[in-house]
Amino acid sequence: MSTFRAPKGTFDLIPPDSAAFLRVREVMAQTVRLAGYQYVETPAFEDTTLFKRGVGESTDIVNKEMYTFTTQGGDSVTLRPEGTASVLRAVLQANLEKAGQLPVKLYYSGSYYRYERPQKGRYRHFSQVGAEALGAQDPQLDAELIILAVDAYRALGLKNVRLLLNTLGDATCRPVYRAALQDYLRALDLDEATRARIELNPLRVLDDKRAEVQAQLTDAPRIVDYLCEDCKAYHDEVRGLLTAAGVAFTDDPKLVRGLDYYTRTTFEFVHDGLGSQSAVGGGGRYDGLSELLGGPSLPSVGWALGVDRTVLAMEAEGVLERDVPRVDVFAVPLNDEARTLFFGVITELRRRGVSADTVFGGRGLKGAMKAADRSGARYALVAGERDLAENVVQLKDLASGEQSPVAVDQIIPTIKEKLS
């Protein structure tokens, strides 16, 4: 046994669990592809300044959780702690906002890294699927993305994911709210670190998870009471679109998310079966982020859905399938002639879109049939000296146990017909 282990706070994805993670990613990706989102992939590390400026220097992510190191060339780079800043940087670098119709609709899937205290549902290396719509300020776009996330969770069989919804206003109304919130927070009994946060970004205090802090926020000013007419109308339209689409939500005036770049619509998906790590995804609108990164005005909205926590939510609801069949057909040769025949058969089956495998290493019939059972295959092909003398193979239904001879030249059309 190797003495090496996965780093603390990380884990390996290996079969059969890896099949469940892969399915979650594929379902989420397929949902947004149906709405015209195209795939984008960015480097696993970026210039550190991108995240300091894009995520926000007042956030715990930047202050405490980033994996930052200096390269041999002296550059400061950071493993990506989230996806939006990288995607926006890629769009601006490629001038995609000038290349065609706006919004630019993109989705991504990958690994992200934060130095956190490891616990179930909170890892230092985690997986997300994200979607971003860049270049349009439209309530329908906000609603579209929220509905797509809801549809993805439903497609995975989840019934107990709840949607929390809020608005953070814009550059017109948020400064007024910010001042009122600061006045309220300064009068509370808070520690020095939290008091410093009041001056830097008071909305971050609303996101404080400590019970002793939340107990003092009962009567805190609410952003919805300070919205300008444009932001109020915008938020009302998002709410109306969600209701018309049959999407239930809970208004949460304290929802600010963990990133500094959000404006107007913010939302979070939670699952009560996960304990303290209840958030399974979330996002919002970030109309001013492009300018912070040196780009043009590019109002945008997006979300990221946590693959790891979604799997845990599926497990909590009893809808997680780990034992996914590896192949449709498994070949069991009983002599060298059958090995040669079946190697050609499974190669042709794969080329025709049928998943197929065979036994390797010269196992006997008993061992080969065990391998076929473990593969989860629906059918087994079995052939020995007597079968080949009659120019047939045996096709066995591994679920029913029924077995019948099939002419060698009819193997592939027979399997295709049965699988159809």
Structural domain count of the chain: 2
| Residue 260 and residue 128 share a domain | yes
Query: Is position 84 annotated in a ligand binding site?
Result: yes
| Residue 335 and residue 309 share a domain | no
Q: What is the pTM of this model?
A: 0.89
Phi/psi-derived region of residue 111, left when phi > 0, alpha when psi is between -120 and 50, beta in every other case: beta
Residue by residue, pLDDT tens for the chain (420 residues) are 678 999 998 989 988 889 899 999 999 999 999 999 999 999 999 999 999 887 876 677 787 889 999 999 999 999 999 999 999 999 999 999 888 789 999 999 999 999 988 888 788 999 999 999 999 999 999 999 999 999 999 999 999 999 999 999 998 998 898 899 899 999 888 888 888 888 888 887 887 878 888 898 888 898 889 999 999 999 999 999 999 999 999 999 888 765 667 889 999 999 998 887 789 999 999 998 999 899 999 999 999 999 999 999 999 999 998 767 789 999 999 999 999 999 999 999 999 999 999 988 877 778 878 888 888 899 999 999 999 999 999 999 998 999 999 999 999 999 999 998
Which of 317, 351, 386 marks a domain boundary?
317
Give CA–CA dist 156/194, Å, rounded.
39
Which of 292, 317, 342 marks a domain boundary?
317
| Residue 246 and residue 140 share a domain | yes
| Residue 79 and residue 34 share a domain | yes
| Residue 107 and residue 160 share a domain | yes
Kindly state whether residue 42 falls inside one of the protein's structural domains. Answer: yes
Kindly state whether residue 185 falls inside one of the protein's structural domains. Answer: no
Q: Which of 373, 397, 324, 344 is nearest to 18 (CA)?
A: 324
| Residue 390 and residue 244 share a domain | no
What backbone torsions phi and psi does residue 127 show, to the nearest 5 degrees? -120, 140
| Residue 371 and residue 296 share a domain | no
Give CA–CA dist 290/406, Å, rounded.
64
Which of 271, 297, 317 marks a domain boundary?
317
| Residue 375 and residue 235 share a domain | no
Kindly state whether residue 4 falls inside one of the protein's structural domains. Answer: no
Q: By three-state DSSP, how is residue 129 classified?
A: strand
Query: Is position 261 annotated in a ligand binding site?
Result: yes
Query: Is position 82 annotated in a ligand binding site?
Result: yes
| Residue 264 and residue 143 share a domain | yes
Kindly state whether residue 34 falls inside one of the protein's structural domains. Answer: yes
Kindly state whether residue 100 falls inside one of the protein's structural domains. Answer: yes
- Which run of H or of E encompasses 263? strand 263-271
Query: Is position 114 annotated in a ligand binding site?
Result: yes
Q: What is the CATH number of the domain that holds 252?
A: 3.30.930.10
| Residue 131 and residue 42 share a domain | yes
Kindly state whether residue 210 falls inside one of the protein's structural domains. Answer: no
Query: Is position 132 annotated in a ligand binding site?
Result: yes
Give CA–CA dist 372/356, Å, rounded.
10
The boundaries of the domain holding residue 132 are 17-173+227-317
| Residue 239 and residue 369 share a domain | no
What backbone torsions phi and psi does residue 275 show, to the nearest 5 degrees? 70, -140
Query: Is position 257 annotated in a ligand binding site?
Result: yes
Kindly state whether residue 180 falls inside one of the protein's structural domains. Answer: no
